[in-house]
Amino acid sequence: MTPEKLSPLLCTIPLLPLAGAAINGFFGRKSSRKAISAIALLFCGLAFCMALFIAANFSSASAPYSFPLAHWIRSGNFTVDFDFYLDQLSLVMLLVVTGVGFLIHIYSVGYMWDDDGYYRFMSYLNLFMFFMLTLVLAKNYLLMFIGWEGVGLASYLLIGFWFVKDSAASAGKKAFIVNRIGDFGFLIALFLIIKRFGSLDFTTVFQAVTPLAKETSGAGLLTAIGILLMVGAAGKSAQIPLYVWLPDAMEGPTPVSALIHAATMVTAGVYMIARSHVIFEHAPMALMVVAIIGTLTALFAATIGIAQTDIKKVLAYSTVSQLGYMFMACGVAAFSAGIFHLMTHAFFKGLLFLAAGSVIHGIGGEQDMRKMGGLRVYMPWTFLTMSIATFAIAGFWPLAGFFSKDEILWKAYSSEYGSWVFWLLGVTTAFITSFYMFRLWFMTFFGDYRGAPAPAAHGHGSRAGAPAPHNHDHGQGEPHESPWVMLGPLAILAVLSVIGGWVEIGGRFEHFLAPVFQSGGTELATDTAEAASKTTEYLLMAVSLLAAGLGFLLSWTLYYRSPGVPARIAEGLGGIYRAVANKYYVDELYALLFVKPVVDGSTEILWHGVDQGVIDATVNNSADSARHVSDKLRHMQSGNLRSYAGWVAAGGALVIAYMVWMGVR
């Protein structure tokens, strides 16, 4: 199919979910649940079919496709238009977003069916799809920024979906505010790009950057742009130091956690870095920053994941950690490895969240793993799919996670920007990942069921105040398997988690993305290094497999064979364990360093000082003085006839005196 025929389809992909969001948002309140589901699934599914159609007709020879939809900003030489753009990178993102998004839409029908805000939820999900697709398909930074902010909005709305619950409302605010910090960096990067290159169009900017010299000796403008872009990415993709919002974002409904806070939105930062790879390749220092932040985040979040007891919190920290991997890949200029991990992560982490949602659904809203256990008997399908996802994220051959994680670790070691330090920290993280994921797996599905078999009340007590989404007809408190509308997506994602990694066998995925990333020197470097270091690669592969296996064994020992040991170990570790369990007190530190000064400063200076002291005081005092003066003056108008006459006489006397005085002069 010719580019001329294919390109116009590009703009329909984001617009379809927007239409769905609008219909459900405006008319959903009065529609039946079936109609709402039909509309949401139809528009999202159509977008997915369109993406598949484009992918089927995609030819690398005629890529990139672009489609100018409309003019937007035209100011002198500076233009920004509603241009859509599709190359191999956006195609991968497009398929991941629409595919995983569609599956999660289906799942949500089952999961959210009994919620009062069902239409709202579906409308928000569609809205999210619109913004995410805009982000992915944008041809310039500003349109991308619209999508970027839009997914932030959708994320805010969905985290705070159960807004009557205080914690959900404040988690939404936290996500929004932390993201603002990142967006601030992103915006400044955009301003710098405009100032230096006079355009925000990807093609124009990257063509202008390509001939420039690499900023190897010192930090220049490109380094500044790169680091500021990374600040933006760190906000959106929950990297140190801005990761704190993502674990709290688990207050949202589980499909949201799966779609937005695991599979798609949080990977936007990785996509943005990969999209800007030309800038980063010219700024090695910025790359270094990306790699260091990614590696540290991966390790740091993984260690926190060990001690969490909330099933969704474990997965949240796992997400932060896996995103760290992606940034590590981008930081060593292995962008295709980063995108590859993004894709496989979308499959298995989406699956993990959905399966966790199925578990939570099945036992009546309980999220504490200490009250689970033995669930493999009650929900075999959830168990099966979750097992696949767990093995995939732990990096067992031949599941998806093995290929992508191994690719990243290998690149971290072998790339010209890489180092054995990154590799070592990466492998350590892989070991910890495997450990805490199997901990979750054993605690949830093995042993005996530890939850209270609540009779009719159905055990919603643990989430008091939450409009629990699970008020379905099952009267018994016994755990039960979820309906097929939820298990279907689980099964499909499980298949993808198995085979998703196979696309990289023989380096096909990397070659597919190569046209996007080839402008840098990385391609050549790997080609020459490849032959010589095949042995090293297999050795490293074996080590990472070993790390995953060790994690499994340790987990098996501690949480399956002798479940009493972890408590004793935790006791023995004392302070260290408490620090980890309390997330290293980072939230408390931020509260002390940033939140408290801002709140106190606002209270004392801005509120009591400026607002009450200056603004209110000005208004109130002028009103008060007017009142006091009037209070005195009103006594002149006493109603006493003779006093009036006296005033008249006095006035007359005054006039006469004046005239006499003037006459004398």
Partner 1 sequence: MVPLTYYLLLSGILFACGVLGFLIKRNIITIFMSIELMLNGVNLSFVAFAAHWHALSGQIFVFFVMVVAAAEAAVGLAIIIAVYRTRETLNVDQVNLLKL
Interface residues with partner 1 (CB under 8 A) are: 634, 637-642, 645-646, 649
Angle at 306 between CA 302 and CA 307, to 5 degrees: 130
Cα–Cα distance measured from residue 378 to residue 575, given in angstroms and rounded to the nearest whole number: 37
Name, in order, each residue with C-beta under 8 angstroms of 632's C-beta and a sequence gap of 6 or more.
Answer: none
488 burial (CB, 10 Å; 0-12 / 13-18 / 19+) is middle
Q: Output 605 or 648, the one with its CB closest to partner 1.
A: 648
Q: Output 621 or 637, the one with its CB closest to partner 1.
A: 637
Q: Output 597 or 646, the one with its CB closest to partner 1.
A: 646
Q: Output 213 or 641, the one with its CB closest to partner 1.
A: 641
Task: Quote the least distance from Cβ 631 to partner 1, whole Å.
Answer: 12
Task: Quote the least distance from Cβ 647 to partner 1, whole Å.
Answer: 10
Cα–Cα distance measured from residue 514 to residue 512, given in angstroms and rounded to the nearest whole number: 6
Residue 76, SS3 per DSSP: coil
**393 is written with which tokens?**
């994220």
Indicate left, alpha or beta for 593 from its phi (over 0: left) and psi (-120 to 50: alpha): alpha
Residue 638, SS3 per DSSP: coil
Q: Output 632 or 634, the one with its CB closest to partner 1.
A: 634
Angle at 106 between CA 270 and CA 345, to 5 degrees: 25
Task: Quote the least distance from Cβ 169 to partner 1, whole Å.
Answer: 54
Q: Output 571 or 631, the one with its CB closest to partner 1.
A: 631
Q: Output 603 or 638, the one with its CB closest to partner 1.
A: 638
Q: Output 2 or 643, the one with its CB closest to partner 1.
A: 643
Question: What is the chain's percent helix, strand, coil content, to nearest 5?
Answer: 75, 5, 20
Nearest of 257, 280, 285 to residue 338 by alpha carbon = 280
Task: Quote the least distance from Cβ 163 to partner 1, whole Å.
Answer: 54
CB 182 within 8 A of CB 234: yes
297-330 burial by CB neighbour count: b if 16+ within 10 A, else e? bbbbbbbbbbbbebbbbbbbbbbbbbbbbbbbbb
Task: Quote the least distance from Cβ 665 to partner 1, whole Å.
Answer: 21
Task: Quote the least distance from Cβ 621 to partner 1, whole Å.
Answer: 26
Task: Quote the least distance from Cβ 622 to partner 1, whole Å.
Answer: 25
Task: Quote the least distance from Cβ 634 to partner 1, whole Å.
Answer: 7
Q: Output 191 or 647, the one with its CB closest to partner 1.
A: 647
Q: Output 377 or 649, the one with its CB closest to partner 1.
A: 649
Q: Output 528 or 640, the one with its CB closest to partner 1.
A: 640
> What does DSSP say about strands 78-86 and 65-75: parallel, antiparallel, or unpaired?
antiparallel
Task: Quote the least distance from Cβ 662 to partner 1, whole Å.
Answer: 19
DSSP 63: P
Cα–Cα distance measured from residue 17 to residue 6, given in angstroms and rounded to the nearest whole number: 19
Q: Output 531 or 636, the one with its CB closest to partner 1.
A: 636
Task: Quote the least distance from Cβ 29 to partner 1, whole Å.
Answer: 58
Q: How far apart are the first and last CA of the chain?
A: 104
Q: Taken in order 115, 117, 123, 128, is the CA torsion positive or negative? A: negative
Cα–Cα distance measured from residue 234 to residue 271, given in angstroms and rounded to the nearest whole number: 12
Distances in whole angstroms, Cα of residue 445 to Cα of each of 242, 355, 370, 454, 565: 33, 12, 11, 19, 18
Nearest of 121, 124, 97 to residue 109 by alpha carbon = 121
Q: Output 30 or 634, the one with its CB closest to partner 1.
A: 634
Q: Output 562 or 637, the one with its CB closest to partner 1.
A: 637
Task: Quote the least distance from Cβ 597 to partner 1, whole Å.
Answer: 54
Task: Quote the least distance from Cβ 653 to partner 1, whole Å.
Answer: 9
**Sequential DSSP letters for 88-147:** HHHHHHHHHHHHHHHHHHHHHHHHSTT-TTHHHHHHHHHHHHHHHHHHHHBSBHHHHHHH
Distance between alpha carbon 406 and the CA centroid of its chain, in Å?
A: 24
Task: Quote the least distance from Cβ 659 to partner 1, whole Å.
Answer: 14
Task: Quote the least distance from Cβ 177 to partner 1, whole Å.
Answer: 56
Nearest of 55, 179, 34, 48 to residue 126 by alpha carbon = 48
At 96, the amino acid letter reads: V
